[in-house]
């Protein structure tokens, strides 16, 4: 007797508000919330206890036991840069082989400038290395934060708690170290010592993100263009729109020219990672939004805080709760479709000469 499998409801592919399951995960030792670094076919996590590198398919490649003083950075698919107390090294991401090595002292921050160049920030010096050789070096105020590479291609530095009622930011030409622009803004605030959490520039405007929750745009001469109250501890990313994430777990999207809000959505508080999706991390996982509309694309729920890194094709890596995880929305959809489409086997057992199939008694013939 043939027994047909039970019908199974088809997966609704249009339902994009779904939880993504990790494609793979591997144990790592790294500071909680540190951002993974993607270098071609390798993904790395580094911290005070050393460096762990995996293939993008999840296979362990190598580890290095050294006390890193800054988070690693990828210059290209073929160069991963790490720093310890003594030196800065360029490594082959797949093998760990040293490509170049520079003695520049203990680095606090590594910033990618180009496929060949990296900016190395120590407490009071900034050096740009090109293929491991110093292009320029200069003293910097220890109270300045950064640098970060702005959308305008300059290295951006900004004030911490330094001057009463004033804040400032400046941009350095990464090729020469010369000042490209510098702005100073008077600030009226309850806190007599205002602090900037983030700065961005698109070449036409400078965007200042104040710790208390205000974003201000000014021209390159320092004249204020607009101000908007958004979220405490803002993190800024400039593209066609200005994306702001912060302490209230909301992403605000502002028009660069006017500051008008295009949309806002619940997400995470980490600096947004902009690619096929706008991805942020927070205390409870990762949220991916459509950059144009703010529509929820997918979520991953897990232990935080996390700071995600996104590839050009939308694959996301996070380090959470002692593990490196790969999150792939498309792979997750395919797996869910396969699971929902697979025929469900009937429940059956034999009882007193009958075959019991899903509660239906079928006589067993001779």
Q: What is the pLDDT of residues 182-215, one digit of tens each?
A: 999 886 555 555 688 999 999 999 999 988 889 9
Q: Is the peptide bond before 305 cis (omega within 30 degrees of 0)?
A: yes
Report domain extents, the chain: 36-140, 141-266
User: Is 86 exposed, middle or buried (CB count within 10 Å of its CB: 0-12, 13-18, 19+)?
Assistant: middle
Tokens of 189: 């605030």
- Closest-CA residue to 48 (of 26, 27, 64, 25): 64
Residue 10 has pLDDT above 50, yes or no: no
pLDDT at 176: 98
Q: Are 172 and 179 spatial neighbours (Cβ–Cβ below 8 Å)?
A: yes
Look-up of token digits 């001779």: 366
Residues with Cβ within 8 Å of 297's Cβ and at least 6 positions away in sequence, in order, are: 16, 277, 288, 289, 290, 329
Considering the four listed CATH numbers 3.20.20.70, 1.10.3720.10, 3.40.50.720, 2.40.128.630, the one that applies to the domain covering 141-266 is 2.40.128.630
pLDDT at 126: 98
The mean pLDDT value for 173-186 works out to 94
The mean pLDDT value for 314-343 works out to 75
Residues with Cβ within 8 Å of 22's Cβ and at least 6 positions away in sequence, in order, are: 300, 325, 326, 327
Tokens of 341: 């489409």
pLDDT at 365: 61
Strands lying side by side in the sheet with 261-266: 235-238, 242-245, 250-254, 261-266
Residue 14 has pLDDT above 70, yes or no: no
Query: What fold, for 36-140?
Result: Lipocalin (2.40.128)
Residue 127 has pLDDT above 80, yes or no: yes
What 3 state SS string does the chain have? Answer: CCCCCECCCCCCCCCCCEECCCCEEEECCCCCCCCCEEECCEEEEEECCEEEEEECCCCEEEEECCCCCCCCEEEECCEEEEECCCCEEEECCCCCCEEEEECCCCCCEEEECCCCEEEEECCCEEEEEECCEEEEEEECCCCEEEEEECCCCCEEEEECCCCCCEEEEEEECCCCCCEEEEEEEECCCCCCCCCEEEEEECCCCEEEEECCCEEEEECCCCCEEEEEECCCCCEEEECCCEEEECCCCEEEEECCCCCCEEEEEECCCCCCEECCCEEEEECCEEEEECCCCCCEEEEEECCCCCCCEECCCCCEEEEECCEEEEECHHHHHHHHHHHHHCCECCCEEEECCEEEECCEEEECCC
Mean pLDDT, all residues of the chain: 86
The answer to whether the 36-140 and 141-266 domains have the same CATH topology is: yes
- Closest-CA residue to 300 (of 274, 260, 261, 268): 268
The mean-pLDDT minimum among 55-59, 100-104, 159-163, 229-233 falls in 159-163
Residues with Cβ within 8 Å of 195's Cβ and at least 6 positions away in sequence, in order, are: 159, 160, 161, 167, 210, 211
Residues with Cβ within 8 Å of 151's Cβ and at least 6 positions away in sequence, in order, are: 200, 201, 202, 203, 238, 239
Q: How confident is the model at residue 12 (pLDDT cuts 50, 70, 90)?
A: very low
- CA 324 to chain CA centroid, Å, is 13
Residue 1 has pLDDT above 80, yes or no: no
CB atoms within 10 A of CB 126: 22
Residue 4 has pLDDT above 60, yes or no: no
Residue 264 has pLDDT above 90, yes or no: yes
The mean pLDDT value for 339-344 works out to 52
For 5, 41, 123, 236, 357, the CA distances from 362, given in Å and listed in that order, are 15, 56, 80, 67, 7
Q: Is the peptide bond before 57 cis (omega within 30 degrees of 0)?
A: no
Residue 9 has pLDDT above 50, yes or no: no
The mean pLDDT value for 334-357 works out to 59
Q: How confident is the model at residue 247 (pLDDT cuts 50, 70, 90)?
A: confident
Q: How confident is the model at residue 6 (pLDDT cuts 50, 70, 90)?
A: very low
For 85, 212, 306, 321, the CA distances from 167, given in Å and listed in that order, are 31, 13, 29, 37
């Amino acid at each position: 007797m043939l027994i047909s499998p039970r019908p199974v409801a088809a997966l609704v592919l249009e339902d994009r508000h779904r939880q993504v399951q990790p494609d793979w995960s591997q144990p790592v030792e790294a500071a909680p919330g540190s951002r993974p670094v993607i270098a071609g076919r390798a993904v790395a996590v580094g911290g005070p206890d050393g460096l762990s590198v995996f293939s993008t398919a999840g296979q362990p490649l190598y580890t290095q036991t050294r006390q890193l003083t800054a988070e690693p950075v990828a210059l290209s698919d073929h160069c991963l840069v790490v720093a310890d107390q003594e030196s800065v090294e360029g490594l082959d991401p797949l093998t760990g082989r040293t490509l170049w090595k520079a003695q520049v002292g203990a680095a606090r921050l590594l910033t990618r400038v180009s496929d060949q160049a990296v900016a190395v920030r120590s407490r009071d010096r900034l050096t740009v290395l090109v293929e491991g050789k110093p292009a320029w070096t200069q003293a910097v105020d220890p109270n300045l934060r950064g640098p970060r590479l702005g959308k305008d291609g300059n290295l951006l530095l900004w004030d911490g708690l330094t001057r009463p009622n004033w804040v400032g930011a400046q941009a350095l030409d990464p090729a020469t170290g010369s000042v490209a622009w510098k702005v100073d803004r008077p600030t009226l605030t309850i806190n007599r010592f205002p602090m900037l959490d983030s700065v961005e520039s698109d070449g036409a405007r400078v965007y200042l993100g104040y710790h208390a929750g205000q974003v201000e745009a000014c021209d390159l001469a320092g004249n204020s263009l607009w101000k908007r109250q958004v979220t405490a501890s803002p993190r800024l990313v400039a593209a066609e729109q200005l994306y702001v994430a912060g302490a209230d777990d909301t992403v605000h999207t502002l028009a660069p020219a006017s500051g008008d809000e295009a949309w806002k959505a619940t997400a995470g508080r980490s600096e947004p990672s902009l690619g096929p999706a706008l991805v942020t991390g927070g205390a409870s996982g990762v949220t991916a939004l459509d950059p144009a509309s703010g529509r929820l694309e997918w979520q991953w729920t897990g232990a935080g805080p996390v700071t995600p890194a996104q590839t050009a094709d939308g694959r996301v890596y996070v380090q959470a709760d002692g593990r490196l995880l790969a999150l792939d929305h498309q792979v997750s959809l395919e797996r869910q479709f396969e699971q929902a489409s697979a025929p469900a086997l009937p429940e059956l057992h034999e009882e007193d000469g009958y075959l019991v199939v899903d509660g239906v008694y079928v006589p067993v013939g001779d």
